[in-house]
Homo-oligomer: A and B are copies of this chain.
Amino acid sequence: MAKKLKVAVCGATGYTGFELVRLLLNHPHVEIAALTSQQSAGKKMSEVLRSVAGRCDLVLEKLDPAAIAKKAEFAFLALPHGEAAESAASFLEAGLKVCDLSADFRIHDRKVYEKAYEQHKAPQYLKEAVYGLPELHREKIKKARLVANPGCYPTATTLALAPLLKHKKISLDGLVADAKSGVSGAGRKADLAYSFAEVESGVKAYALFTHRHTPEIEQELSECAGASVRITFSPHLIPMNRGILSTVYARALDGATTEDLNTLYRRSYEAEPFVRVLPPGALPRTQDVAGSNYCDLAPVGAGDGRVICVSVIDNLVKGASGQAVQNMNLMMGFAETAGLEGLAVVP
């Protein structure tokens, strides 16, 4: 057996950290060398995440890039933005490859980033960073030292629109993405707004016209279109843990039917291991991707110019940690699907 890649998960006790650990423990070419946590340092991982008891004996440590660089070759950063940029710089300087799950290196334009987030902590790496959506940027990812793992909403929405934009099938005006997200997207934290009592059996919209993922989505859509694209992005909180369903509205330049669109999408994604286009007439459920790295798509055309594409992913897998593993696989030359064969747990 070949020598395994030694990886570190920085920020292992948030939900994307949990999910990285879950996936990496069953990855054939990887060994987890270090797990970090600011709040739980000194505890065993299995004390925080009981589900890995018997399978992971590592003790959580404080994030010390120098110490970690001695035992790991690859770092996943599941850290708050800002902290991620700083750590990424340290790891890159120490010779590690990095997949950053924060927003820090997703937006190419520093000003746009700083307007949505804060002053950038490592702008010198912005140019080098590759946006880690393999379906759009696979070849660049393969050569990257630093991959910016996409946001969950941008992943679902960009995959829904890419074929239409690349093939110039739709107007660039009036795009709407009405997205429905599970609660795990809010992270692992004590917050009344995400308590069970406040979330169960109800739904709400939030951050209308103002969500930080909007510029990220617009960057990728614009790249697909070869022109500036704006989108109205409306996130909603759904009483479920995992999953994003993005209902994307566009206006076709012709009277595309569902059959037409289905053909276009199947061709566009036929070589993709993690994108599935449903047969005409079927609409996707988040349940069928939950726990897996798939994105299921269903484009629907009214025949009168109106087009909807429904896109579902697991926000913690294809929307975060699974895609990060996919990126690592590409960066390291592993099979792209290694460690990602798990299917949705249904029901």
A195, B205: Cβ atoms under 8 Å?
no
Within 8 A of B (CB), among A211-246: 232, 234, 236, 238-243, 245
Residues of B within 8 A of A234 (CB): 178, 247, 308
B51, A292: Cβ atoms under 8 Å?
yes
Within 8 A of B (CB), among A154-201: 174, 176, 178, 180, 182-184, 186, 188-192, 194-201
Known: A191-B195, A195-B191, A208-B300. A343 touches B200 (CB 8 A): no
**Nearest residue in B to A15 (C-beta to C-beta)?**
B347
Residues of B within 8 A of A2 (CB): none
Q: How many copies does the complex hold?
A: 4
Residues of B within 8 A of A22 (CB): 343-346
A197, B197: Cβ atoms under 8 Å?
no
Residue interface mask A253-266, B partner, CB < 8 A = 1 = 00000000000000
Whether A81 is near chain B, meaning CB under 8 Å from some CB there, is no
Most buried by B among A18, A189, A202, A308: A202
**Nearest residue in B to A204 (C-beta to C-beta)?**
B285
Whether A249 is near chain B, meaning CB under 8 Å from some CB there, is yes
| Cβ distance A175 to chain B, nearest Cβ, rounded Å | 11
**Nearest residue in B to A291 (C-beta to C-beta)?**
B345
B285, A50: Cβ atoms under 8 Å?
yes
Most buried by B among A236, A243, A343: A343
**Nearest residue in B to A54 (C-beta to C-beta)?**
B276
**Nearest residue in B to A208 (C-beta to C-beta)?**
B300
A197, B302: Cβ atoms under 8 Å?
no
B188, A283: Cβ atoms under 8 Å?
no
B50, A282: Cβ atoms under 8 Å?
yes
Bound state CA distance, A194 and B196, in angstroms?
A: 6
Whether A342 is near chain B, meaning CB under 8 Å from some CB there, is yes
Known: A51-B346, A190-B191, A203-B245. A232 touches B306 (CB 8 A): yes
A287, B202: Cβ atoms under 8 Å?
yes
Whether A341 is near chain B, meaning CB under 8 Å from some CB there, is yes
Whether A296 is near chain B, meaning CB under 8 Å from some CB there, is yes
Whether A330 is near chain B, meaning CB under 8 Å from some CB there, is no
- Cβ-neighbour of A184 out of B197, B283, B291, B344 (below 8 A): B197
Bound state CA distance, A262 and B192, in angstroms?
A: 27
A291, B288: Cβ atoms under 8 Å?
no
Whether A82 is near chain B, meaning CB under 8 Å from some CB there, is no
| Cβ distance A278 to chain B, nearest Cβ, rounded Å | 8
A-B contact pairs, 6 of them (CB 8 A): A51-B343, A184-B197, A196-B239, A203-B240, A204-B284, A234-B308
Q: A22-B345, A201-B201, A202-B285 are in contact. List 7 more A-B contacts (CB 8 A).
A: A18-B346, A25-B343, A51-B289, A180-B180, A191-B195, A242-B345, A290-B345
The 8 closest A-B pairs by CB, nearest first: A202-B287, A51-B344, A197-B347, A178-B178, A201-B240, A196-B199, A50-B288, A204-B285
